[in-house]
Amino acid sequence: MSQALPASNRHIFNHAYVWLFLGFICYALPWSVFAAESVTLMRIQGSNTIGAKLGPALISGLYESQGFRNIRVAPGAAENEQLVLAEDKLGRTLQSEVAAHGSGTGFVALQDGSADLAASSRPIKDAEAASLQALGNMQGAGAEQVIAIDGLAIIVHPGNPVSALTTEQLAAIFSGEIKDWAALGGNPGEIHLYARDDKSGTFDTFKELVLAANGKSLAGNAKRFESSNQLSDGVSQDAGGIGFIGLPYVRQSKPLAIADGQSQPMLPSATLIATEDYPLSRRLFLYNPPGTTNEWVKSLVQFAHSPAGQAIVEQSGFIPQTVQAVKVEPSAGMPDDYRKLTGEAQRLSVNFRFQEGSAELDNKAQRDLTRVLDYLRNNDKLRQKVVLVGFGDAKSDPQRAALLSKLRAMAVRRDLSKGGVIFREITGLGEQMPVAANSGDDGRLKNRRVEVWVY
């Protein structure tokens, strides 16, 4: 006959059995049953201008709109990489990856499948779009998303007496042809160049709008930076320094007024950048493959265009695409009819621009139609309150330039009329009041614009 175990031995046996059973369960079941599950929602690569602050802020805003908790931004695996983290109602850790190594890297990452969305501070190049044609038309309205407007500020040391430069002077400075501040009316001293790196969309924009437009290339002695903040801080501490940077990164430096061609010198103000009249204004983009099945990518793009998303754009230091009426001060260089308009009406903070070589509105302008219509409806401006003013680039025949500028205004009228707008006046001012030089394609595109005024 077997004997019963003593009470103390039975206690030890029972505990051993429990631990053996739990060990078997832990071995048999996946660890995810016991640990919080981590889920990657989307991967964004590209522009440092967007990725350093705006991209993570938009993702955080999207998280908040979805009711997620414990939203935070943490360092990623390398410099200029971040993780935007949150927790859902099931307690899972959610993350989105943001790598900000330059606009060009975003399109490469889309091609090799290491990113779901490309952030860019310049338009996609034809060659990049061709390399991504398997993903769809990356230059179409379904893929190209303008999420903000930025101005490329030219910055110097706060004590520098120079206040304005032309784009031609900038090209000569950054190519190394002008080496001393005395040649520009400043205090004698060597000019020290600060520039973003070759992968940067900021550098691409400066190279296209300033250097290449004047047949120049960047001097070899320029200090190069991947970080916008580091570049700006370097200029602000260098009496001989000059650099170019996105508007939110001016920090302690001094921005200069810039003129292009026959335009007046313009500081990078919010209004002039919003209308893209400032010579070095630029658009900030998200590029999403039109056939993407990632619902979080679609949601982020939609959120970025929403009023809440555009509020985050403004909070991040960029210029939102929110339509506002702005009082314009008259000046001596204005045509008489235009000067009269400044005294009686206000200008909306948006210009309509067109696709290159086409009478069709570009991708941003197609979205701006909805924004303008919403403003006009909400402010009771639909009937006899709107004036459209068209402008163009210089032609050999000024009358032809005036006609083409009015035809552009008529094209905008056609689309806004579908929303119920009855116009007070449509006019074209031709090549008058240029905002950019007509010597290059980019300048001519900027001059071909339609302004909206409201009474």
C-beta separation of 242 from 193 below 8 A: yes
The whole-angstrom separation of Cα 398 and Cα 445 is 17
pTM of the model: 0.79
> Minimum mean pLDDT among 12-21, 41-50, 201-210: which range?
12-21
Calculate mean pLDDT across residues 310-319. 94
pLDDT at 37: 62
C-beta separation of 197 from 223 below 8 A: no
pLDDT at 26: 41
Cβ atoms within 10 Å, residue 255: 17
pLDDT at 357: 64
Domains, in order of start, for the chain = 150-274 (3.40.190.10), 323-454 (3.30.1330.60)
Residue 22: pLDDT band (50, 70, 90) is very low
Residue 28: pLDDT band (50, 70, 90) is very low
Task: Report whether pLDDT(127) > 70.
Answer: yes
- pLDDT tens string 332-388: 889 999 999 999 999 999 999 987 766 789 999 999 999 999 999 999 999 999 999
- Classify burial at 380, counting beta carbons within 10 Å of its beta carbon; exposed 0-12, middle 13-18, buried 19 or more: exposed
SS3 114: coil
Calculate mean pLDDT across residues 212-234. 96
Calculate mean pLDDT across residues 149-156. 94
Calculate mean pLDDT across residues 93-103. 97
Residue 6: pLDDT band (50, 70, 90) is very low
pLDDT at 21: 46
The whole-angstrom separation of Cα 199 and Cα 101 is 7
Query: Which has the higher per-residue pLDDT, 282 or 396?
Result: 282
Which residues, in sequence order, are bridge partners of residue 150? 282
Quick one: tokens of 315? Answer: 């909070």
What percentage of the chain has pLDDT greater than the value 90? 76
pLDDT at 269: 87
pLDDT at 118: 98
- pLDDT tens string 239-250: 999 999 988 899
Q: To the nearest whole number, what is the mean pLDDT of the chain?
A: 90
pLDDT at 358: 67
Residue 36: pLDDT band (50, 70, 90) is low
Q: What amino acid is encoded at 307 in this protein?
A: P
Residue 208: pLDDT band (50, 70, 90) is confident
pLDDT at 310: 97
Query: Which has the higher per-residue pLDDT, 268 or 26?
Result: 268
pLDDT at 166: 96
SS3 452: strand
Query: Which has the higher per-residue pLDDT, 188 or 24?
Result: 188
Among 50, 81, 59, 57, residue whose Cα is nearest residue 228:
50
The whole-angstrom separation of Cα 375 and Cα 312 is 20
